[in-house]
Chain A
């Protein structure tokens, strides 16, 4: 069974930093493309970014609002996905979901989601 468990959320001051982690299990993490999606309170879904597997180059893509402030990385030895967030703004307040990206063969889109980790940016 695929499981994605996020941690690291909490309250942070504007301008501060925070790192979220996502421990994956139930699939071969090394081969998986992964992404982060966020959802502000009472709002819709916003794609944050994606990281490919190392065998596919390990490259990252980001949404414009977080580009140059967020860094997505992975530690395949720990089956863990990260997002390091810098210069946080109040508008970054959201539940952050760790997701797989087209994990199953011939699937498109996001097939598995974690339960989410709440990040609140406020003074």
Chain B
């Protein structure tokens, strides 16, 4: 199984500042035949189901503000929130969908 490890486990950032969350996979999740990394990021606001933010490592889902961006390739990935807003307080998860079981990271709690 591919193990996804996020860092840090929690993060406190001031409003308007940059937040960076890392995700490392235990195996390469880049598929060379289509030049894609099989990595998604989700946001879960307390009491609500998760929401897809980014897929293929850096493609923003429709409606997601452009302050959210994804980067990385192979085994190391990053979610960046360029200017933190109050509504971004949530837990963020990465997930690999390269191979079953489609494992999640343990989550990163983002606070102000």
Q: Contacts A108-B38, A109-B55: A61 and B50 contacting too (C-beta < 8 A)?
A: no
Given contacts A45-B93, A109-B40, contact A50 B100 (CB under 8 A): yes
| Neighbouring B residues of A97 by C-beta, 8 Å | 49-50
Q: CB-CB < 8 A to A108: which residues of B? A: 36, 38, 40, 55-56, 59, 97
**Contact string against B for A residues 106-119, beta-carbon threshold 8 Å, 1 for contact and 0 otherwise:** 01111101111000
Is A47 in contact with chain B by the CB < 8 A criterion?
Answer: yes
Contacts of A61 in B (CB 8 A): 100-101
> What chain A residues lie within 8 Å of B50 (beta carbons)?
37, 45, 97, 110, 113
Residue of A nearest to B6 (CB): A44
Residues of A within 8 A of B95 (CB): 45, 47, 109-110
Give the number of chain B interface residues (Cβ < 8 Å). 26
**For chain A, which range describes its interface: under 10, 10 to 19, 20 to 34, or 35 or more residues?**
20 to 34
Chain B residue numbers with a CB within 8 Å of A110 are 40, 42, 50, 52, 95
Q: Does B71 contact A (CB under 8 A)?
A: no
Could you tell me if A111 and B61 are in contact, using CB atoms closer than 8 angstroms? Answer: yes
**A47 to B103, alpha carbons, bound, how many Å?**
6
Q: Is B104 an interface residue (CB 8 A)?
A: yes
A window 39-90: CB within 8 A of B = 44-47, 50, 61-64
Contact with A along B69-112 (1 / 0, CB 8 A): 00000000000000000000001010101001111111100000
Could you tell me the distance in whole angstroms from the C-beta of B93 to the nearest C-beta in chain A? 6
Which listed residue (B44, B49, B55) contacts A107, Cβ 8 A? B55
What are 8 pairs between A and B in contact, CB < 8 Å? A37-B50, A44-B93, A108-B56, A109-B40, A109-B52, A110-B50, A111-B52, A111-B61
Q: Which residues of A contact B (CB under 8 A)?
A: 35, 37, 44-47, 50, 61-64, 97, 102, 107-111, 113-116
Known A-B contacts: A35-B102, A44-B104. Give 13 more (CB < 8 A). A44-B93, A44-B105, A45-B107, A47-B104, A61-B100, A64-B1, A108-B59, A109-B97, A110-B40, A110-B42, A110-B95, A113-B51, A115-B49
